Structure 1
Amino acid sequence: MNLKRIFGGLLTVLGIGSLIYAAVLFVNNMGGANSVKILLTWGGLGLLFFVSGISLVRTTKDES
């Protein structure tokens, strides 16, 4: 197995989890500047992890 593919899959799963958590925060948002900062932080990290994980999986070649 390729270590880059495993790391890419892990990043993708972490990104999906962070995006789901950001969605839950958005639904339960009570307003205020602090909750908006937290929502943007989790959403940004989730998007960053997801995109980098998918990119890493796609660009890594399967060699056996």
Structure 2
Amino acid sequence: MEKRVLGMILALVGIVGLILAGVNFINGGSGSHNIKQIILYGVLGAIFFFAGVGLIRNTRDRAT
């Protein structure tokens, strides 16, 4: 159960990171600082999202 909760938290953090990358992409200029920020948020968001989804998928429920 704890792994599923951690997976949900990681997935939510990943979604937030991907949303921030999208917002910076839409609102940002062409400066190198903005491009680095978009890449950083996008990559970290994807890592957290897929790690969270993997934890949720691979954790089995046990009857208590």
TM-score by length of 2: 0.95
Can you give the 5+ residue segments of structure 2 that lack an aligned partner in the other structure?
Answer: none
Alignment partner of 1:62 is 2:57 = no
**How far did 1:35 drift?**
0.7
Pairs aligned (count) = 63
| Equivalent in the alignment of 1:15 | 14
CA RMSD of aligned residues (A): 0.6
**After TM superposition, where is structure 1 displaced by more than 4 Å over at least 4 residues in a row?**
none
**How far did 1:34 drift?**
1.0
Tell me the distance in 2 between the aligned counterparts of 1:34 and 1:24: 15
Tell me the distance in 1 between the aligned counterparts of 2:25 and 2:42: 10
SS at match of 2:12: helix
2:29 is aligned with what amino acid? M
* Identity, % of aligned positions: 38
TM-score by length of 1: 0.95
